């Protein structure tokens, strides 16, 4: 059993626990590399199908390539796809810096979808290595009634025993790929031949490391035009993965504020 086999087996275990212990769950599909791997892992866990909805909280500002990808693979993978809109920018905390404010629309859209469907569990593709506040996450992470995250009062997780009883009306975030790294995601995408959005590959000396909304995501300098080259690049680079995400760089705590409020 190699490294990727181990990661896969652990993620499958988490998926099956979430499906067994929660009543109504959905998987958040952001169309990016991580959530595509996540869908793949879920289909492994459930022998070819996703037995719960895939939720795309749509800001309406994704790249055209991303929408094409969604429409194509949503059908091909036979997903129960729910596309949910986000409220206008006016509905979002005006004290946030511009990019964070733009991103925060997604949190509001997420809350609306939660109310609409009454999910008690949301499966999200965050990874510990992406960002410092994500590193502190639990695999089964409880959220308050407002979708907020209390980083100071997280329940203990022992071995593979997770806390799966959200308080009435609240929900859990489940993180089946928390223990993966960016390089793991690419190595697995290659091994399993999982389709990707071409924006991740270099064109004219630039590529996207991480895909978000068009207005707040920038490409990084790169010549990596296939996954092998991406893997080599990742071994050498000192540039953090989210360098191209504007909201991470506005103020030191912008991202933490977003996450405490319920952002992914």
Partner 1 sequence: MNMIVTPASPATPNGTNSMPNGTTRPQVRIVIVGHVDHGKSTLVGRLLHETGSLPDGKLEMLKAVSARRGMPFEWSFLLDALQTERDQGITIDTTQIRFRTNSRDIVLIDAPGHAEFLRNMITGASQADGAVLIIDALEGVRDQTRRHGYLLHLLGVKQVAVVVNKMDRVDFSADRFKAISDEISAHLNGLGVTPTAVIPISARDGDGVAERTDRIDWYKGPTVVEALDRLEPARPLEALALRLPVQAIYKFDDRRIVAGRIESGSLIAGDEIVIMPAGKIAKIKTVENWPVTPVATRQGAGRSVGITLDRELFIERGDIISHVNVAPRETRRLRARIFWLHDKPLAKGDQILVRSGPKESRATVVAIEKAVDPGELESRENKAIGRNHVGEIDISLSSSIAADPYTENPRTGRLVIEVSGRIAGGGLVLSVDAGQRAVPVDIVPVESALRPDERSARYRHNGAVVWLTGLPASGKSTLAKALERRLFTNGGSPILLDGDTVRAGLNSDLGFSAADRSENIRRLAEVATHLARNGHIAIVAAVSPAREDRATARRIADSSFREIHVATPAEICEERDPKGHYKKARAGALASFTGIGNDYERPEAAELVIDTSTRTVADAADEIEQMLKTTGVLFDEVVDLAANI
Q: Which residues bind partner 1 (CB under 8 A)?
A: 1-6, 8-10, 12-13, 16-17, 19-20, 43-49, 51, 128-132, 135, 155-159, 161, 163, 165, 167, 179, 181, 183, 235, 238, 240, 242
CB of 192 vs partner 1, minimal distance in Å: 9
Contact between 257 and 106 (Cβ < 8 Å)? no
Closer Cβ to partner 1, 84 or 250, answer by number: 250
CB of 44 vs partner 1, minimal distance in Å: 5
Closer Cβ to partner 1, 64 or 156, answer by number: 156
Closer Cβ to partner 1, 9 or 151, answer by number: 9
Q: At what angle do helices 33-45 and 3-21 cross, to 10 degrees?
A: 70
CB of 81 vs partner 1, minimal distance in Å: 18
CB of 110 vs partner 1, minimal distance in Å: 23
Closer Cβ to partner 1, 90 or 235, answer by number: 235
Q: What is the rounded CA–CA span in Å between residue 109 and residue 86?
A: 4
Q: What is the rounded CA–CA span in Å between residue 74 and residue 25?
A: 18
Contact between 148 and 261 (Cβ < 8 Å)? yes
CB of 72 vs partner 1, minimal distance in Å: 18
CA 75 to chain CA centroid, Å, is 20
3-state secondary structure string across 6-36:
HHHHHHHHHHHHHHHHCCCEEEECCCCHHHH
Closer Cβ to partner 1, 60 or 155, answer by number: 155
Closer Cβ to partner 1, 206 or 249, answer by number: 249
Closer Cβ to partner 1, 68 or 161, answer by number: 161
Q: What are the DSSP calls for 198-262, one per residue?
A: GGGS-BTTEE-SS---GGGB--EE----SHHHHHHHHHH--S-GGGGBGGGGSSTTHHHHHHHTT
CB of 89 vs partner 1, minimal distance in Å: 27
3-state percent breakdown (helix, strand, coil) of the chain, nearest 5: 45, 15, 45
Tokens 């990707």, residue?
196
CB of 36 vs partner 1, minimal distance in Å: 15
């Amino acid at each position: 059993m190699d490294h990727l086999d181990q990661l896969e087996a652990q993620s499958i275990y988490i998926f099956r626990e979430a499906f067994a212990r929660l009543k109504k769950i959905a998987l958040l599909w952001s169309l990016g590399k991580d959530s595509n791997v996540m869908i793949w892992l879920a289909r492994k866990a459930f022998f070819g199908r996703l037995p719960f909805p895939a939720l795309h909280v749509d800001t309406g500002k994704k790249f055209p390539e991303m929408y094409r990808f969604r429409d194509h693979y949503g059908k091909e993978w036979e997903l129960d796809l729910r596309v949910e809109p986000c409220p206008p920018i006016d509905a979002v905390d005006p004290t946030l810096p511009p990019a964070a404010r733009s991103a925060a629309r997604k949190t509001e859209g997420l809350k609306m979808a939660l109310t609409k469907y009454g999910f008690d569990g949301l499966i999200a593709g965050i990874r510990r290595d992406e960002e410092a506040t994500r590193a502190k996450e639990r695999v089964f992470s409880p959220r308050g009634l407002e979708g907020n995250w209390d980083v100071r009062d997280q329940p203990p997780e022992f071995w593979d025993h997770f806390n799966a009883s959200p308080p009435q009306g609240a929900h859990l975030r489940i993180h089946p790929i928390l223990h993966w790294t960016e390089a793991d995601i690419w190595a697995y995408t290659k091994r399993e031949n999982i389709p990707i959005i071409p924006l991740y590959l270099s064109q004219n000396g630039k590529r996207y490391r991480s895909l978000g909304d068009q207005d707040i995501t920038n490409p990084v300098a790169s010549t990596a035009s296939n996954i092998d080259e991406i893997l080599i690049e990742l071994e050498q680079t000192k540039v953090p993965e989210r360098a191209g995400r504007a909201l991470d760089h506005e103020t030191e705590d912008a991202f933490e504020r977003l996450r405490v409020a319920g952002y992914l």
